[in-house]
A and B are shown apart, each in its own frame.
Chain A
Amino acid sequence: MFTSMQEIIERAGAAGEPVWRVVLAEEVDDSGKTEEQVLARLGERLHTMREAVERGLASDTPSVSGLLGGGARRFEEWRQKGASVVGPFIGRVIARAQATMEVNARMGTIVATPTAGSSGILPAVLFAAEDELGFSEEELVHGLLVAAGVGEVIVARASVAGATGGCQAETGSAAAMAAAALTELRGGTPAMVSQAVAFTLQGMLGLVCDPVGGLVEVPCLTRNVSGAVQAVAGSELALAGLSFPIPADEVIDVMGEIGKELDEKYRETAKGGLAATPTGRKLAASVRWEGPGFENTNVARARQLRDEERDEERGPDG
C-alpha cells in the first residue's frame, strides 16, 4: 500500500513505467493474486459501474425517500437537444455523475469509489473519456488502478469518510482519484498525475458533509457533479504543464487536518449546513420510516412536496 504520492512518482520514475503499472505491481505483491486476476476483477467492477450509469440515465425510479429521481435522465435529454454550452465532455460528466448517485439512492448496485456517497465521480469521468476520447475498456481498467493508488494514499494520510472528514474527504477524494486517472489516460506523466491530485483536491478543501435528513441524496448527488467537474479542470491544469505550489501530499495532509477540526455538525450527522436550513429540516421531517418492517409510509408525501417545489420554481409556464 502506498503512503505518499511522492513515493508513487519516484517508483514510476525509477522503473520508467506509468502509475497504473506501479499500483498493479504493489497489489500483486500485497495480495498474492496474479496480474491477470487483479485486472479481471477490476474489469468486473468497471462493468458494474457502467451498468449503474446506464440504469441511472434510463430510469426515473425515485430514491428510497422520494427526494431524488429522474434528474440524470432529464439533464441528459436537455444536453442532447444542444442546450448546453460546456461541450460534450463536461456535459456527459454532469449527466453521468448524477446517474450513479440516483441508482445508489434507490438502493441499487454501485461500486463505492472510494465511498458510495462519492460513487458518481470516477465513473462519470472515465465513461465520458471513453465516449469522447475513445479509450478502450482495458485502458479504463488502468485508470481504475491509478485512482486506487491515489485513494490508498488518501486513506493512509487522511480519510475518505464523511463522518470523519466531511464531504471534502468523500467527494474531494473521489475527484482527486478521477483527475489522476484522466491525466494518465491522456498521456500525462506521473508528476502530472500528482499535480492533478493537488489541483483538484485544493478546490474541494473545507467542504462540509451536511446531508438533508441524513440521507445520501441532497446535496450528495450535486456535490458529485461539482467534484466530477473539478476533477476535469484539475486534470486539464496538470496536463497543460502548470504546477500547484503546494505538493499533493501536503494538500492531502491538510484535508485530513481540516476534517479533524470540522465541528461534528458538519460530519454526516445532518445537524448542520444544508441539512439544518428551514427547507432541509422540512424535507427531513417529511421522510419517515415506521412500522415493523420500517416501510416508508411517507414516500408519497415527500414526492408531492418535491413536485410542488419544482412547479413553484418553474412558474406557471415552466
Chain B
Amino acid sequence: MSVFDIIGPQMVGPSSSHTAGALRLGLLARSLLGRTPERATIGLHGSFATTYQGHGTDRAVVAGLLGMAPDDERIPHSLAVARDAGLDVTFEPVDLGPEAHPNTLRFEIAAGDDRATLIGSSVGGGAVEVTEVNGRAVDLTGRYDTLLIGAQDIPGTTAAVTRLLADAGVNIAFLEVGREKRGREATMIVQTDQPIPDAVVQEVQGFAWVRFARRLQKVTD
C-alpha cells in the first residue's frame, strides 16, 4: 500500500475497479504471454459480466492486452486498435463459483503456438489479485516483478535462480517454493524489488531442469 494507491491510479474513467483494475489484469496476462496476443477469450465473472460494457471494462481489458497504461487516452478506442493490431477478442460470461471475487476475469490468450491462462480479480481502487496462472494457484498483487518457474524437484534449483538474480543486482522481496509431491514438479515464485532482466529469464529457461519460466512485470506501484 502506497499513497499513490489512494491518490491514484491516474486513469481513464469511469471505474477504478471495472476500468483501471481490469486493464491491469490485461497487462498481467500480456506479460505472462510475453508478447501481444493474437487471440483472446475473456471470461467475465460476477459484476463484470453484467456491467462490463457500461464501465468500459471490455475496452480496458483489451487496452491492457495491447500494453497500454491506465491513463492512455486511446483506451476508449482500444477495440479498434486491437482490430488493426490483429488481436481477435471474444468476451463471454462465466461462473467461477461462489468463492470467486465479484469482479473476476479469466484470460485464455495465445500468439502463434504460445498460450497463457490467468485468473485475477479487481479488488477495489484499481488494486488487483491474481489467483491462478497457467492452471496453477498463486497469490499475487501485481505490485512486484515476478518470476514463475516450474522445475524438477532436485537439489540446488532455488540456489541457482537466486544466484542469477543476485548477480544481476536484483533483490528478492518474497520467495515461495513448493511442490505437489516429492520428486514431481516444483514451483518457484520469486517477487523482486527491481525489474528482472531478459537475460536472467533466458538463462533460467536454459537450465535443463526447468520446465517453464515466465516473468510477470508489475502493474502497480
Contacts and interface: CB of A to CB of B under 8 A. Distances in A.
Interface of A: 1, 23, 27, 30-32, 38, 41-42, 44-45, 48, 63-65, 103-117, 119, 144-145, 147-149, 151-152, 155-156, 159-164, 169, 177, 211, 213-217, 264, 267-270, 287, 289, 293-294
A161 B128 CA distance: 12
A41 B6 CA distance: 13
Most buried by A among B9, B14, B73: B14
Nearest to A122: B7
Given A112-B11, A163-B124, A215-B51, A145 B16 contact: no
Contacts of A293: 79-80, 83
Give the size category of B's interface with A.
Answer: 35 or more
Most buried by B among A45, A116, A216, A269: A116
B79 A38 contact: no
Contact of A269 (B10, B47, B59, B83): B47
- 6 A-B pairs closest in CB distance: A161-B124, A214-B51, A104-B13, A151-B6, A148-B3, A289-B53
A159 B124 contact: yes
A163 B3 contact: no
B45 to A, nearest CB: 12
A38 B71 CA distance: 19
B11 A214 contact: no
B14 to A, nearest CB: 4
B26 interface: no
B127 to A, nearest CB: 8
Given A268-B47, A270-B51, A217 B3 contact: no
B14 A112 contact: no
B16 A27 contact: no
A148 B7 CA distance: 6
B79 A145 contact: no
A217 B54 CA distance: 10
Contacts of A109: 10-13, 71, 73
B123 interface: yes
Nearest to B1: A1
